[in-house]
Amino acid sequence: MYKIHVIYLGGFILGGTGFVNWVKDKFLSTRKDEKEIPQLKKLKSKIPITTIIRYVCNEFRCSEDQVKIKGRKSNKVRAIAMYLARDLSGVSGKELGIFFGGISGAAITMKYNQINAELMRNKKLRDKITNLKKQFLNI
């Protein structure tokens, strides 16, 4: 098996369309170091928030209105949608807050951190979110 080294030079991946998509799926979808390599943020595929919400609602069998509108304190599905939207959409916390009923970007970050901490403890939730992420990557 060949070991492939991908070099990000000026934010570009050189190669044909198939190769570029393969590199994005294989390497960029799993990297979390956008702060160290800002070009990664531009290269990662972004999933629309509406698509994320639709998939989350299908997975947890709830309506999109339950996820979008703020209200109940312990709305786990809403928090999961916020987590995935922050992780996969490429949209800022402030913009996500507006989309999720006018909450602050800090509230989005708090929900993200809560779900992230719960993923460490809750294997069932971790499996569901992993399954959702796989679905998004296959769009």
40 and 54 share one domain: no
Range of the domain at 30: 1-45
Residue 129 CA from chain centroid, whole number: 10
Task: Give residue-wise pLDDT tens across range 1-57.
Answer: 455 555 545 556 677 777 777 776 666 655 555 555 566 666 666 889 999 999 999
126 and 61 share one domain: yes
How far apart, in whole angstroms, are the C-alpha atoms of residue 56 and residue 66? 11
* Sign for the pseudo-dihedral over CA of 12, 47, 129, 83: positive
How far apart, in whole angstroms, are the C-alpha atoms of residue 6 and residue 23? 8
**pTM (whole model) above 0.75:** no
User: Into how many domains does the chain fold?
Assistant: 2
Task: Give residue-wise pLDDT tens across range 36-48.
Answer: 556 666 666 688 9
DSSP category for residue 44: S
34 and 99 share one domain: no
Most confident of the following: 16-20, 36-40, 88-92, 121-125:
121-125
